[in-house]
Amino acid sequence: CPISRGQACIRGVGRTSTTPGALSAYQDKLRTMEDLPHVRQLELLYRMVFQGFHNRLHELQILEKQLYGPIYVSGFKVVAVNSPQLLEELLRKDQKFPSRGDMTLWTEYRDMSGLGYGPFTEEGERWYQLRAVLNKRMLHPKDSAQYGGIINEVVADFNKRIRYLRQLSPTGDLVPDVSKEFYMFSLEGISAILFETRLGCLEEEIPAGTGEFISSIAQMFSYSMPVAALPKWSRSLLPYWRRYIAGWEGIFSFAKTLINKKMEDIQQRLDKDQDVQGGYLTYLLSYTQMSAKDVYASITELLLAGVDTTSNTLTWTLYQLSKNPKVQDRLYEEVSTSLPADQIPTAAEVTRLPYLRAVIRETLRMYPVVPMNGRHMTERPVSVGGYLFPEKTSFGFSHYAMSYDQDVFPEPFTFKPERWLRDGRQKPNPFGSIPFGFGVRGCVGRRIAELEMYLVLFQLIRQFEVKANPRTGDLKSINRTVLVPDKKLNLHFAGIRTESFCLFLKTFL
Ligand code: HEM
């Protein structure tokens, strides 16, 4: 452990390895990858460049399914899996240490700087051991529930900020660029959990260090596209690589400063023989055998994975609620009757509300923030849909197209949270929409993300009626690694709902 006092550290995981199942004699009858429809690289490039799919690759999944069926080889030798049944078949045969494939874009800077890998970038046995440590205090709903109090503090600040912004507008209720506000909310929320420190993202004046950190994250993400697309030899000639690396430097230096500060605090307490108690970072630093290098890498990756995902989902949710007043009314009915108006919901209370959960579930169906995921099968051949694929085959999952498969989701373009209610109706095939992934490599932050979204949505809808701004028009989703709106979303947060006014008075005055 980076800090120790003889506490039990979590040791390597001793899971017995499963012998890869030998394929049966029936294997001879399986067809091969060559028998599948192939999308030629030129075709793909044509569609991307001339048909404008370069930033709408998720929509291309729908077209490709119509043209090539549920499984085909796409331009860059990736096997596209485009039906829930085939996806289930493949994921149930996943490796003991699943892999999503090449992560060099995220690892190069760390290799250059002697930094470690986290859950996103690590592979094999080391990844497995890392996840065993990171999952604790995070993955189980009971673990994430302990962060309800911290998240509610952030929600309270977010409410204040929304009230402040709406009163600045000429109409007295318009909040411009809601995505940006949710970004700040998500960054503040996840940092409060991971660093056990408030960054001040929701303050009127963002502290200088926090501002630089936010710019570094934006810089790293925005230069990752040209860096990935351009050849390595161009790096010394063009500015992109240098700026990309500067982004990573800013991110790591900020994270290290906060983590080092926590380590010092803990060490001081230990020196005085005082008890060490705290949240997630304290747990990693004091109760596990993770090295400081691993803690820097893991915390940084958790943070990066936990901001755009949650914030964009919240943006899409409010967008859909503003377009579907009946759904919003039903949600309001649920949140306003579930608790007294002056009571702030706890994690346990908020996760019990079926319609609130269904609203988020439906948003993630229509806007799976990670619209394409995949697996690289390194260990052994695998059969799917009657085809045999050799080891080292890469599979790409067309989650977006599956989410709009009308056999699984009737009226797929309609926002219908009801389809997720467990009130006797037939449940959709669960593999039609798996926004947090699947299995041991699935999203580690799922429960925290859900909790953040439930708590903030509960309080927003209890207070305001969210209305579309006619000038904004319809939003389309574009793919920037995650699905984001193609333009800014401005929304009216109309009239403070009467029931909540006393809550407001109680909380803020
Ligand atoms: C709406 C919110 C979120 C969505 C939709 C989402 C979705 C996903 C998906 C699809 C994956 C890939 C899973 C797979 O390959 O099977 C993933 C992985 C991951 N997510 Fe999330 N995520 C969200 C929020 C978060 C948050 C809040 C955190 C951090 C606390 C987080 C941390 C991670 C990490 C570290 C991984 C990599 C796990 C691994 O490779 O072992 N995510 N997420």
Q: Give per-residue pLDDT as tens, 31-55.
A: 999 999 999 999 999 999 999 998 9
pLDDT of 22 above 70: no
How far, in Å, from the CA of 307 to the mean position of ligand 1?
A: 10
Q: How far, in Å, CA of 347 to CA of 459, rounded?
A: 13
What's the pLDDT score for residue 481? 80
What's the pLDDT score for residue 498? 52
pLDDT of 15 above 90: no
pLDDT of 507 above 60: no
Binding residues for heme: 443
Please calculate the CA angle 403-405-407 and round it to the nearest 5 degrees.
130
Which atom of ligand 1 is nearest the CA belonging to 134? 35
Q: How far, in Å, CA of 201 to CA of 223, rounded?
A: 23
What lies within 8 Å, CB to CB, of 277 at 6+ separation is: none
pLDDT digits (tens, 9 = 90+) for 270-325: 999 988 888 999 999 999 999 999 999 999 999 999 999 999 999 999 999 999 99
Which atom of ligand 1 is nearest the CA belonging to 399? 10
Q: Residue with the nearest Cα to atom 36 of ligand 1?
A: 443
pLDDT digits (tens, 9 = 90+) for 93-119: 999 999 999 999 999 999 999 999 999
Q: Residue with the nearest Cα to atom 43 of ligand 1?
A: 443
Please list the alpha-helical segments (H only) found in 306-405. Answer: 308-323, 325-338, 347-350, 354-366, 399-403
Confidence of residue 27 (pLDDT cuts 50, 70, 90): low
Q: Is the ipTM of this complex over 0.95?
A: yes
Confidence of residue 506 (pLDDT cuts 50, 70, 90): low
pLDDT of 171 above 80: yes
How far, in Å, from the CA of 442 to the mean position of ligand 1?
A: 7
pLDDT digits (tens, 9 = 90+) for 172-195: 999 999 999 999 999 999 999 999
What's the pLDDT score for residue 42? 93
Tell me the angle at which helices 308-323 and 178-194 cross, rounded to the nearest 10 degrees: 140
CB of residue 302 inside a 6 A radius of ligand 1: yes
Q: Could you tell me how far CA 455 lies from the centroid of its own chain?
A: 17
* Mean pLDDT calculated for residue range 147-155: 97
- Cα torsion 98, 101, 106, 107 to 10°: value is 80
pLDDT digits (tens, 9 = 90+) for 57-82: 999 999 999 999 999 999 888 999 99
What's the pLDDT score for residue 379? 87
pLDDT digits (tens, 9 = 90+) for 436-480: 999 999 999 999 999 999 999 999 999 999 999 999 899 999 988
Share of the chain above pLDDT 90, in %: 83
* Mean pLDDT calculated for residue range 410-428: 94
How far, in Å, from the CA of 299 to the mean position of ligand 1?
A: 13
How far, in Å, from the CA of 302 to the mean position of ligand 1?
A: 8
Confidence of residue 29 (pLDDT cuts 50, 70, 90): confident
pLDDT digits (tens, 9 = 90+) for 193-252: 999 999 999 999 999 999 999 999 999 988 998 898 899 999 999 999 999 999 999 999
* Helices and strands per DSSP (H, E), number in the chain: 19, 12
Mean pLDDT over all residues of the chain?
91
Higher pLDDT, 352 or 22: 352
- Cα torsion 81, 86, 91, 93 to 10°: value is -120
